[in-house]
């Protein structure tokens, strides 16, 4: 059976010590923007924006794909008002708001690869790729893992740990789902990447 083409960005699924994902996140602020390219979706990688809100909550913006571009973390939730998390999965680029960001380098994320990958790619480093715009209809992120890999460049954004073991995820086929961790983090610039 062919792997389903379901782009959803990065989804936390566990930790490298074998424990389940504990859901720990950092509340971050998204400043109002002017274009659809500023939309943020659950599953999108983000970076510090260099500012914050008036109460001191750190600001974030969408990360840039590619080597030498460290990331802060992955959006795991959208806070639609000041009191609670709702079921929203995206925030309009024109609006200010708050997102929950998983910044833990020990968290394992599941993501779809944009091309074929096999077991021989475990341990390689990769970047993310924006393969489609996030959907304002479904709320799905348009981010995938770029299947161009390297083992020698520690500044690439993610490290491949393996593949989800499920009947609907066949290695060596298009749209394979991959398990990764953050490899080049803004929080660990002194020793980024391995």
Residue 187 above 70 pLDDT? yes
pLDDT digits (tens, 9 = 90+) for 53-111: 999 999 999 999 999 999 999 999 998 665 555 567 899 888 899 999 999 999 999 99
- The answer to whether position 36 is within a domain reads yes
Tokens matching residue 132: 């489609």
pTM of the entire predicted model: 0.91
pLDDT digits (tens, 9 = 90+) for 32-41: 886 767 899 9
- The answer to whether position 50 is within a domain reads yes
| Domain that includes residue 91, residue range | 11-188
Question: How confident is the model at residue 6, as a pLDDT?
Answer: 93
- The answer to whether position 193 is within a domain reads no
- How many domains is the chain partitioned into structurally? 1
- The answer to whether position 1 is within a domain reads no
- The answer to whether position 6 is within a domain reads no
* Band (194; pLDDT cuts 50, 70, 90): very low
């Amino acid at each position: 059976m062919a792997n389903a083409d379901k782009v959803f960005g990065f989804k936390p699924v566990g930790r490298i010590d074998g424990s389940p994902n504990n859901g720990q996140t950092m509340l971050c602020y998204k400043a109002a923007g002017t274009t659809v390219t500023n939309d943020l979706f659950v599953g999108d990688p983000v970076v510090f924006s260099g500012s914050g809100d008036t109460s001191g909550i750190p600001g974030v913006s969408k990360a840039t794909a590619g080597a030498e571009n460290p990331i802060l973390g992955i959006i795991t939730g959208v806070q639609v008002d000041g009191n609670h998390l709702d079921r929203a999965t995206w925030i309009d680029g024109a609006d200010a708001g708050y997102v929950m960001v998983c910044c833990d380098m020990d968290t394992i994320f599941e993501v779809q690869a944009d091309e074929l990958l096999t077991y021989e790619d475990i341990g390689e480093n990769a970047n993310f790729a924006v393969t489609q715009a996030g959907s304002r209809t479904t709320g799905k992120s348009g981010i995938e893992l770029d299947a161009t890999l390297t083992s020698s460049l520690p500044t690439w954004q993610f490290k491949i740990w393996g593949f989800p073991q499920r009947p609907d995820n066949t290695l060596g086929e298009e749209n394979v789902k991959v398990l990764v961790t953050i490899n080049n983090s803004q929080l660990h610039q002194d020793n980024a990447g391995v």
